[in-house]
């Protein structure tokens, strides 16, 4: 007996000496307010779900917890009221799906909860919060519609938030070729005016009909990847219709995005920034693809393997001072200018000869025997994946542009756009780029 008591005392001593840092992750549930209230509205399960996004009780929410949102229409926005702990213990907000046992095993689950979450009229506010993930889980899983001037899809309220991930969101502004003089719609508005911020990941999102799709400032370590950013045009004078307008920030990556029908500066560097990487993107039917405000200073820029088609100004880096390299970029029927003495050029192609499989159908893969094939420079393993996920140089030599010739293309979903005048504009398809 004494032996067992001694063993028990040893285990007790170990438990007292070793601090317990792990917390039990909790799940909480939200349903649209149109059907509520639900039971106790404690969020404990679907039968007792929080009654709409505005009624989430953030008390005690912490890293490791997940808030599951049932499909349906929500008429109030989501304001994040707590933070995660670290990258391994984030506070997560997810759309509910039938593939999640945390959803299907909770009391009150019905199949209809696995549908698009729609935030109508209001977006998501994240202010002074850290280690947050907002995840729609599937393509356009969470849709944010912001038709009101002055509203943004995701807004950071000018205060620093850190380690934020936005994934599978669809953000739709007021419209295409409409008057925004009463106030701008910005897809993701992430300027940190009251302190520096770090780490923002935006991926697999569809952002459209805004004055600018992305606006960041005083924020380092941002990656924007696998998004479609399109239909950014206003009829009023003075609106800046940019794909991503950068008001300062270092270590910024813009890769594997598809950008089209954007009226102004495209990827636009407006203030000094170091360590920019822009590669593997497709820009078409726009004004600028990549542009820089005059006088901007930046070091270690890498602009690689982008395809630019029918963009009147195209890539325009002039009267500025940067260091770095532009290589393997393909410009068709587009402007191409680099006047920065420190930004060297290698194997770029600027052509008026159509090199694509089907320009009219918006298939920008390389046609057989076209000039960009095997005309590129090997840029190393960090940049060797094309827009479809194929490996550049698989045949021994890199190609120029966003696509490696002969790689398997993704499935295209063609989505004709009805213009403001009512006419049908066939702008081609949006590649369903594989998840990363």
For the chain, domain boundaries? 24-113, 146-431
Confidence tier at 177 by pLDDT (50, 70, 90): confident
- Strand, helix or coil for residue 84: coil
Count helices and strands (H / E) in the chain.
2, 38
Strand bridging mode 130-135 / 142-145 = unpaired
Q: Any idea which of 21-25, 151-155, 294-298, 400-404 has the lowest mean pLDDT?
A: 21-25
pLDDT (average), residues 71-87: 97
Confidence tier at 6 by pLDDT (50, 70, 90): low
- pLDDT tens for each residue of 30-75: 999 999 999 999 999 999 999 999 999 999 999 999 999 999 999 9
Supply the pLDDT for residue 362. Answer: 97
Contact 152, 183 (CB under 8 A): no
Supply the pLDDT for residue 410. Answer: 55
Supply the pLDDT for residue 22. Answer: 43
Supply the pLDDT for residue 420. Answer: 28
Sign (positive or negative) of CA dihedral 343, 348, 352, 358: negative
Supply the pLDDT for residue 425. Answer: 29
* Cα dihedral: 177, 167, 130, 150 (round 10): 10
Supply the pLDDT for residue 24. Answer: 74
Strand bridging mode 429-431 / 197-203 = unpaired
Report the mean per-residue pLDDT for the chain. Answer: 88
State yes or no: pLDDT of 315 exceeds 70.
yes
Half-sphere exposure for 247 (CA within 13 Å, toward CB): 13
- pLDDT tens for each residue of 239-249: 678 999 999 99
Supply the pLDDT for residue 434. Answer: 30
State yes or no: pLDDT of 401 exceeds 70.
yes
Distances in whole angstroms, Cα of residue 162 to Cα of each of 132, 201, 391: 8, 10, 33
Single out the residue of 126, 108, 118 nearest to residue 147, CA to CA: 118
Q: Which residue has the higher pLDDT, 146 or 12?
A: 146
pLDDT (average), residues 293-317: 95
Supply the pLDDT for residue 435. Answer: 29
The CA distance from 347 to 335, in Å, is 16
DSSP H or E segment with residue 197:
strand 197-203
Give, in degrees to the nearest 5, the angle at Cα 404 between 398 and 407.
135
The CA distance from 197 to 252, in Å, is 13
Burial of 299 (0-12, 13-18, 19+ CB in 10 A): middle
Q: Which residue has the higher pLDDT, 24 or 284?
A: 284
Confidence tier at 237 by pLDDT (50, 70, 90): low
Task: Please give the share of the chain, as a percent, with pLDDT higher than 90.
Answer: 77
Supply the pLDDT for residue 411. Answer: 46
- Give the best-scoring range by mean pLDDT among 19-28, 178-187, 247-256: 247-256
User: Cβ of 131: how many Cβ atoms within 10 Å?
Assistant: 22
The CA distance from 50 to 63, in Å, is 19
Distances in whole angstroms, Cα of residue 314 to Cα of each of 68, 208, 252, 322, 357: 42, 20, 20, 18, 20
Supply the pLDDT for residue 391. Answer: 96
pLDDT (average), residues 291-310: 95
Strands (E), 10-155: 27-31, 50-51, 66-69, 72-74, 78-79, 91-95, 117-120, 124-125, 130-135, 142-145, 152-155
- Strand, helix or coil for residue 226: coil
Considering the entire predicted model, what is its pTM? 0.89
- pLDDT tens for each residue of 133-143: 999 999 999 99
Confidence tier at 235 by pLDDT (50, 70, 90): confident
Chosen CATH of 146-431 out of 1.25.40, 1.10.10, 2.160.20, 3.10.20: 2.160.20
- pLDDT tens for each residue of 335-355: 998 888 889 999 999 999 999
State yes or no: pLDDT of 155 exceeds 60.
yes
The CA distance from 174 to 419, in Å, is 13
The CA distance from 317 to 305, in Å, is 16
Supply the pLDDT for residue 423. Answer: 27
């Amino acid at each position: 007996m004494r032996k067992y008591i001694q063993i028990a005392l040893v285990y007790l001593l170990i438990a007292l000496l070793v601090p317990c840092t792990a917390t039990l992750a909790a799940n909480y549930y939200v349903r649209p307010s149109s059907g509520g209230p639900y039971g106790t509205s404690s969020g404990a399960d679907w039968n007792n779900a929080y009654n709409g996004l505005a009624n989430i009780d953030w008390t005690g929410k912490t890293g490791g917890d997940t808030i599951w949102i049932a499909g349906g229409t929500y008429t109030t926005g989501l304001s994040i009221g707590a933070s995660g702990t670290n990258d391994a213990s984030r506070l997560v907000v997810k759309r509910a799906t039938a593939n999640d046992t945390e959803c299907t095993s909770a009391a009150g689950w019905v199949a209809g909860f696995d549908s698009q979450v729609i935030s109508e009229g209001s977006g998501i506010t994240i202010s002074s919060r850290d280690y947050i993930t907002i995840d729609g889980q599937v393509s356009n899983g969470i849709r944010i519609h912001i038709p009101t001037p002055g509203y943004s899809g995701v807004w950071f309220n000018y205060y620093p938030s850190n380690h934020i991930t936005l994934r599978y969101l669809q953000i739709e502004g007021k419209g295409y070729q409409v008057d925004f003089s009463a106030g701008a719609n910005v897809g993701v508005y992430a300027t940190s005016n009251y302190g520096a911020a770090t780490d923002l990941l935006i991926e697999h999102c569809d952002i459209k009909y805004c004055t600018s799709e992305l606006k960041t400032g005083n924020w380092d370590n941002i990656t924007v990847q696998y998004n479609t950013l399109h239909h950014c045009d206003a009829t009023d004078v003075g609106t800046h219709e940019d794909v991503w307008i950068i008001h300062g920030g270092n270590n910024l990556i813009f890769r594997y995005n598809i950008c089209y029908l954007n009226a102004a500066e495209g990827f636009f560097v407006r203030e000094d920034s170091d360590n920019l990487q822009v590669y593997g993107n497709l820009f078409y039917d726009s004004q600028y693809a990549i542009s820089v405000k005059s006088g901007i200073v930046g070091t270690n820029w890498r602009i690689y393997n982008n395809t630019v088609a029918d963009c009147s100004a195209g890539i325009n880096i002039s009267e500025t001072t940067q260091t770095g390299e532009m290589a393997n970029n393909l410009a068709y029927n587009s402007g191409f200018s680099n006047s920065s003495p420190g930004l060297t050029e290698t194997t770029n192609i600027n052509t008026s000869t159509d090199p694509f499989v089907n320009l009219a159908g918006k298939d920008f893969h390389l046609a057989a025997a076209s000039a960009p094939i095997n005309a590129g420079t090997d840029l190393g393993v960090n940049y060797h994946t094309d827009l479809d996920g194929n490996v550049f140089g698989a045949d021994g030599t890199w190609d120029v542009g966003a696509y490696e010739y002969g790689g398997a293309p993704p499935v295209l979903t063609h989505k004709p756009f009805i213009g403001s005048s009512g006419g049908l504009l066939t702008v081609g398809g949006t590649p369903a780029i594989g998840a990363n």
